[in-house]
Amino acid sequence: MSVTYVGMPPFPEAADASTRDERLRGNLRHATHTIRDKRATAVAELADWPELRTAGAEIKDRTLRHLDHYLEQLEAAVTRAGGTVHWAADAAEANRIVTRLVEATGESEVVKVKSMATQEIGLNEALAEAGISAYETDLAELIVQLGDDHPSHILVPAIHRNREEIREIFRTRMGRWGRAAPENLSDRPADLAEAARLHLREKFLNAKVGVSGANFMVAESGTLVVVESEGNGRMCLTLPETLISVVGIEKVVPTWRDLEVFLQLLPRSSTAERMNPYTSTWTGTTESDGPRDFHLVLLDNGRTDTLADRVGRQALRCIRCSACLNVCPVYERAGGHAYGSPYPGPIGAILTPQLDAMETGLDASLPYASSLCGACYEVCPVAIDIPEVLVHLRERVVQGGPVTVRGQRTTVRPAKGHAAERAAMRAASWTFDHPRALRAGERLASRARRLVPRTLPGPGKGWTDSRDIPSLPPESFRDWWRRTRGPGTRPGAETRPAARESGTGESGAAPEGGRE
Partner 1 sequence: MRVALFVTCINDALYPRTGQAVVTLLERLGVQVDFPEAQSCCGQPQFNTGYRHATEPLVHRYAEAFEGYDHIVVPSGSCAAMVRDNYPRIGEKAAAEGRGHVLADTAARVVPRTYELTEFLVDVLGVTDVGAYFPHTVTYHPTCHGLRMLGLGKRPRQLLEQVRGLELRELEGAEECCGFGGTFSVKNAAVSAAMGTDKARHVEETGAAAVCTVDNSCLMHMGGTLSRRGSRVRPVHLAEILAGTEESPL
* Footprint (CB under 8 A) of partner 1, residues 356-395: 367-375, 377-378, 388, 391, 393-395
Closest CB to partner 1 among residues 184, 411 = 411
- Check residue 467 for interaction with partner 1 (CB under 8 A): yes
Closest CB to partner 1 among residues 275, 372 = 372
Residue 282 backbone zone (phi > 0: left; psi -120 to 50: alpha; other: beta)? beta
* Angle value at C-alpha 361, between 306 and 6, nearest 5 degrees: 90
CB of 58 to partner 1, least distance (A): 20
CB of 285 to partner 1, least distance (A): 47
Task: Spell out, one character per residue from 291 to 310, where the chain touches partner 1: x when CB under 8 A holds, - when not.
Answer: -------------------x
Residues 422-451 that bind partner 1 (CB under 8 A): 422, 425-426, 428-429, 431-433, 435, 438, 442, 445
Q: Which of 395, 318, 327, 377 is nearest to 352 (CA)?
A: 318
- Classify burial at 278, counting beta carbons within 10 Å of its beta carbon; exposed 0-12, middle 13-18, buried 19 or more: middle
Per CB under 8 A, the segment of 99-107, 257-265, 297-305, 505-513 that binds partner 1 is 505-513
- Check residue 61 for interaction with partner 1 (CB under 8 A): no
Q: How far is CA 126 from CA 243, 391, 482, in A?
A: 18, 35, 70
Q: How far is CA 92 from CA 114, 120, 430, in A?
A: 20, 11, 47
Residues 397-416 that bind partner 1 (CB under 8 A): 397-399
End-to-end CA distance of the chain: 56
Per CB under 8 A, the segment of 48-56, 202-210, 270-278, 494-502 that binds partner 1 is 494-502
Residues 322-351 that bind partner 1 (CB under 8 A): 329-330, 333-334
Closest CB to partner 1 among residues 184, 489 = 489
- Check residue 282 for interaction with partner 1 (CB under 8 A): no
- Check residue 470 for interaction with partner 1 (CB under 8 A): yes
- DSSP calls for 248-314: EGGGEES-HHHHHHHHHHHHHHHT--SS-SEEEEEES-BTTBS-SEEEEEEE-TTHHHHHTSTTGGG
Interface residue with partner 1 among 45, 190, 487, 495 (CB under 8 A) is 487
Beta strands at 252-253 and 401-405: parallel, antiparallel or unpaired: unpaired
- Check residue 472 for interaction with partner 1 (CB under 8 A): yes
Count of positions on this chain that bind partner 1 (CB under 8 A): 88
Closest CB to partner 1 among residues 138, 442 = 442
φ/ψ of residue 243, rounded to 5? -125, 130
Contact call for residues 355 and 404 (beta carbons, < 8 A): no
Residues 1-60 that bind partner 1 (CB under 8 A): 11-12, 15-16, 19-20, 25
CB of 149 to partner 1, least distance (A): 22
3-state secondary structure of 184: coil
Per CB under 8 A, the segment of 60-68, 174-182, 347-355, 498-506 that binds partner 1 is 498-506
How many other β-carbons are positioned within 10 Å of the β-carbon of residue 203? 24
Closest CB to partner 1 among residues 148, 501 = 501
Closest CB to partner 1 among residues 231, 459 = 459
- Check residue 485 for interaction with partner 1 (CB under 8 A): yes
CB of 54 to partner 1, least distance (A): 17
Beta strands in 372-515, from DSSP E residues, in sequence order: 401-405, 408-412
3-state secondary structure of 151: coil
Rg of the chain over all Cα atoms, to the nearest angstrom: 27
Contact call for residues 311 and 101 (beta carbons, < 8 A): no
Closest CB to partner 1 among residues 114, 392 = 392
Contact call for residues 338 and 18 (beta carbons, < 8 A): yes
- Check residue 469 for interaction with partner 1 (CB under 8 A): yes
